[in-house]
Chains A and B, each alone.
Chain A
Amino acid sequence: DGGITQSPKYLFRKEGQNVTLSCEQNLNHDAMYWYRQDPGQGLRLIYYSQIVNDFQKGDIAEGYSVSREKKESFPLTVTSAQKNPTAFYLCASSTRANEQFFGPGTRLTVL
Chain B
Amino acid sequence: DAKTTQPNSMESNEEEPVHLPCNHSTISGTDYIHWYRQLPSQGPEYVIHGLTSNVNNRMASLAIAEDRKSSTLILHRATLRDAAVYYCIQSRKLIWGLGTSLAVNP
Q: Which residues of A contact B (CB under 8 A)?
A: 4, 33, 35, 40-45, 48, 58-59, 88, 90, 92, 97-105, 107
Residues of B within 8 A of A (CB-CB), count? 19
Indicate if the CB atoms of A42 and B34 lie closer than 8 Å.
no
- Proximity string of chain B (17-51) to chain A, C-beta cutoff 8 Å, 1 when within and 0 when not: 00000000000000010101000011111100100
The CA of A64 and the CA of B59, in the complex, are separated in Å by 36
Beyond the given A43-B87, A43-B96, A92-B43, please list 20 additional residue pairs across the A-B interface where CB-CB is below 8 A: A4-B43, A33-B94, A35-B96, A41-B98, A42-B96, A42-B98, A42-B99, A45-B94, A45-B95, A59-B95, A88-B41, A90-B43, A98-B34, A98-B92, A100-B34, A101-B46, A102-B45, A103-B43, A105-B41, A107-B41
Q: List residues of chain B with CB under 8 Å of any chain A CB.
A: 32, 34, 36, 41-46, 49, 87, 91-92, 94-99
With A45-B94, A97-B49, A98-B92 already in contact, the answer to whether A105 and B36 are too (CB < 8 A) is: no
